Each structure stands twice: as structure tokens, then as C-alpha cells.
Amino acid sequence: MAGQLEREALDFHRENPRVYVLVCRFAQEAIDRGATKYAIATIWERLRWEVQIVTGDMDFKLPNNHRAYYARLWLKNHPQYPDFFRTCTLRSVTGGPRDRYGRDEDDPDPPGPQGPAGPPGSGPDAGSLEIRSLFGKPKGIIPLDGDE
């Protein structure tokens, strides 16, 4: 049975499908640069930058509560990368974390961004990106599969 946070994340996903498209794109960029593990939090902050700073849409909000659900959705849809995002026990399911990271206390591997992906916009096509407002009037273009 879905809790309130999960229902809110599902509603947000239905209302903002491009967020997941960009999560997939940015995760693939990290993989293409050699990352075998990465942090959804880093991708989430890049999403904020792209939407708020690059497109100027300062009113669009990306709630941090949804990150865990997007990471799990991505992992479900990309089974070839089962450990790309580290996931912990959801506090909304268990009633609280086991330690400050939501891990079992005997887990020695702390969470965090890993991999040699480099800073956003540092890839070979960095200068060719045009950005568009993802959720309003177009102001440029982020090329996505199926977009022309």
C-alpha cells in the first residue's frame, strides 16, 4: 500500500513526465563518462539548475522527497545497472531510518556521488546544447529522443 510520500511522488511524475526523461538522460551521461555508481541527489540538483537557472523558470519546484522514488523507478527500468543508484530503506515504509542514512548499522559503505562523470556540461557536446523551458513556454531546446 502506497504511503502519502509515494502518492505525492506518483502524482508529481504524472504531472511532470519530462523530469524522468531528464533523470534518464543525465544518468546516461554519467554512465557514458564511466560512472558505475552515482547519486540521485546530484542529478536532482542538476535538474534544478537546468530548469531554474538555464531556462529561467524559478517557480518550478523539485521536491527532495521524490528523489528516492525516481531512483527506484530508474533502477526498475534499467536492470542492467542494478547498483547505479544506492537506495536505502524508505523511512515512510519503516517509520524511520536505522542510522542517519537509512541503512543497517553494520553497512560500511556510506552513500554519496561516485564515478568519473565530470561536471555537467563538460562532455564533448557541451557547447551545442540549447535549453528549453521544460514546463512552459519554450526558450531553447534540450534534444531528447523523439524531439525534432
What pLDDT, in 10s, does the model give residues 72-126?
999 999 999 999 999 887 766 665 556 555 555 555 554 444 434 444 444 444 3
Residue 143 lies in a domain: no
User: Does the residue 133 lie in any domain?
Assistant: no
Structure pTM? 0.64
Residue 17 Rama label (left phi>0; alpha psi -120 to 50; beta): alpha
Pick the closest to residue 62 from 37, 43, 89 (CA basis). 43
Domain count, the chain: 1
Residue 73 lies in a domain: yes
* 63 falls within a domain: yes
Cell of 5: 510520500
Q: Which residue spans within the chain are E strands per DSSP? A: none
Enclosing domain of residue 81: 4-102+113-128
The conformation of residue 89, written as its DSSP 8-state character, comes to -
Instruction: Indicate the average pLDDT of the chain.
Output: 75
What would the grid cell of residue 122 be?
Answer: 563538460
- Quick check: 85 and 74 in contact, CB under 8 A? yes
Q: Does residue 21 fall inside a structural domain?
A: yes
Let me know if residue 66 belongs to a domain: yes
